[in-house]
C-alpha cells in the first residue's frame, strides 16, 4: 500500500506571495492533518480534515487555510507569506478515530525569502 505523498517536496517563495501544498493520504484513509515544523517552535498542529470538513484547527493565523476533496486529497494554502513561514510542512493521514495512529508523508520544505 502506497504511503502518504506530498508535493512539491521543496519550494522557494518570496514574502507576500502565496503557496499551495498538496497531500494525498494512504488509500482508504479519510483523515488528513497538517503540521508545521520549525527549529524554534517544533512540531505544531495546523488543522485536520475529515470527509471534506475541517474538524480541528490549531493556533495559526487566518493566512493558513486548507481544504479536502472528495477523494480525501488535501491542500494547504498560505497567503501573504512571511519569513517566519519558512518551515517543513508535514501531512499525516489516519482512518476515522481522533486517536488513531497518524502516518506522515515526507514533508514539503518551504523557504520564504
Residues that bind another protein (CB under 8 A): 31-33, 35, 42-43, 45, 48, 50, 55-56, 58, 88, 90, 92, 94, 98-99, 101-107, 109
Q: Which is nearer to another protein, 90 or 112 (CB)?
A: 90
Q: Which is nearer to another protein, 55 or 63 (CB)?
A: 55
Strand segments (E) across the chain = 5-7, 10-13, 19-24, 31-38, 42-50, 53-57, 64-68, 74-78, 87-94, 103-104, 108-112
Q: Which is nearer to another protein, 16 or 61 (CB)?
A: 61
The three-point CA angle 7-94-67 to 5° equals 50
CB of 16 to another protein, least distance (A): 26
Amino acid at each position: 500500500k502506497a504511503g502518504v505523498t506530498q508535493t512539491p517536496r521543496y519550494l522557494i517563495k518570496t514574502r507576500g506571495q502565496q503557496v499551495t501544498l498538496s497531500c494525498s493520504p494512504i488509500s482508504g484513509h479519510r483523515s488528513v492533518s497538517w503540521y508545521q515544523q520549525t527549529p524554534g517552535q517544533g512540531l505544531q498542529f495546523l488543522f485536520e480534515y475529515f470527509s471534506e470538513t475541517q474538524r480541528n484547527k490549531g493556533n495559526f493565523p487566518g493566512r493558513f487555510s486548507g481544504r479536502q476533496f472528495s477523494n480525501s486529497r488535501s491542500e494547504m494554502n498560505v497567503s501573504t507569506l512571511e519569513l517566519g513561514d519558512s518551515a517543513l510542512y508535514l501531512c499525516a493521514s489516519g482512518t476515522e478515530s481522533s486517536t488513531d495512529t497518524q502516518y506522515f508523508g515526507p514533508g514539503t520544505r518551504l523557504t520564504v525569502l
